[in-house]
Amino acid sequence: MAQYGLSRMYEEGEGVEVDKEKALFWYKKSIDNGNTEAMHNLGIMYYKGDGIEKIAS
């Protein structure tokens, strides 16, 4: 859960500067540990192209 919290902090800039690459890194770590909320949020980042190459729609 801490990894997910870090990813949200970096994505939103809560207490730290916004850093989409670090957010992606921590989302992926959180997903590796079974966090489905992280999977959802990472999917949204991919969909929007938010700090990452956008998935063609």
pLDDT in tens, the chain (57 residues): 899 999 999 999 999 999 999 999 999 999 999 999 999 999 999 888 887 766 665
pLDDT at 23: 95
54-to-10, 12, 51 alpha-carbon distances in Å: 19, 19, 9
DSSP class of 55: P
pLDDT at 56: 62
| CB-based contact 42:24 (threshold 8 Å) | yes
What angle separates helix 2-12 from helix 20-32, to the nearest 10 degrees?
A: 160
pLDDT at 49: 84
pLDDT at 1: 86
pLDDT at 46: 86
- Assign 3-state DSSP to the chain and report helix, strand, coil percentages, each to 5: 65, 0, 35
| CB-based contact 46:39 (threshold 8 Å) | no
